Amino acid sequence: MEPSVSIQTRNLNLWYGDFQALINVNLNIRQGIITSLIGPSGCGKTTLLRCFNRVNERYGNVTTTGEIKIFDKNIYDEDVSLIELRKAVGMVFQRPNPLPLSIYENIVFGLRIHSRRQNLNRSQLDEAVEQSLTEVGLWKDLKDHLNTKATSLQLEQQQKLCIARLLPLKPQLILMDEPCSALDVEATRNIEELMLDLAGEYTIVIVTHNMAQARRVSSECIFMLMGELFEHNSTADMFIIPKDPRTAEYIEGRFG
């Protein structure tokens, strides 16, 4: 049975002032898999990723037309709450950005904000911390250090913590903007293994410049160039028999 669609865009265009960064992007991203956005710097990958939780709108002077549906709901509808959207669509950035708080408070920070009316008790918060840290493979190492400042952790642990703090909010999608760019080889491998563990339960969209990484972790790839989507295919087919010659040139390292 084919997985259902998590994200659908139709005639998506975006301008930063007079500069058009996305041009008529039409795509379907399937649920429960890892999809990589690839292409040279400045091609629109990160802009597209940030459309999915409307983070681009924070920067001002941004105009968007077209439609983005997440689980069949247009995120530009007037009744869409940005708070609820960003709760459902979590984001991990290039460089780990833990809050300057304890490990424990990093994990429960989102819960405290989004669950004010529920008055979560300590045992519920404790359970969320243990479950989230277990899911990203940090519980064993950090369970006795939950009051330690998160910014004192190693970069790999910080990035895993940034993923862990999304999980108590039960996101439907996790967006990752080059999540391994600040990490060494071993840490990169560990984060990739974590992504593969989370796939299935979560739909993951990752921006990466690392072609080997795209091949290792993603089921499908989307190749972009100068704001346009040129190819969307299974990762295996894109790397072996790309449909567009520009995809082949990029994958083979002839530009970008």
CA–CA dist 81, 256 (Å, integer): 37
Domain that holds residue 232: 5-100+172-251
Give tens-digit pLDDT for 7-23: 999 999 999 999 999 99
Q: Flag whether 132 is in a domain.
A: no
Give tens-digit pLDDT for 203-240: 999 999 999 999 999 999 999 999 999 999 999 999 99
Q: Flag whether 124 is in a domain.
A: no
**In this structure, what token pair is assigned to residue 52?**
């999915």
Q: Flag whether 155 is in a domain.
A: no
Give tens-digit pLDDT for 60-99: 899 999 999 999 999 999 999 998 999 999 999 999 999 9
Query: Does the structure show a pLDDT above 90 at 115?
Result: no
Residue 95 half-sphere exposure, CB side, CA atoms within 13 Å?
A: 2
Burial class (CB in 10 A: 0-12, 13-18, 19+), 106: buried
Question: What is the DSSP secondary-structure string of 155-182?
Answer: HHHHHHHHHHTTGGG--SEEEEESTTTT
**In this structure, what token pair is assigned to residue 133?**
């840290």
Query: Does the structure show a pLDDT above 60 at 117?
Result: no
Q: Flag whether 79 is in a domain.
A: yes
Q: Flag whether 118 is in a domain.
A: no
Question: At 58, which CATH number?
Answer: 3.40.50.300
Q: Flag whether 196 is in a domain.
A: yes
User: How large a percentage of the chain has pLDDT more than 90?
Assistant: 88
Query: Does the structure show a pLDDT above 60 at 2?
Result: no
Residue 124: left if φ>0, alpha if ψ -120 to 50, beta else—which one?
alpha
pTM attached to this predicted model: 0.94
DSSP type of residue 117? G
Q: Minimal CA–CA distance to 20: which of 61, 52, 69?
A: 61
Domain count, the chain: 1
For residue 211, give the H/E element and its range: helix 211-217
**Helices and strands, counts by H and E, the chain:** 10, 10
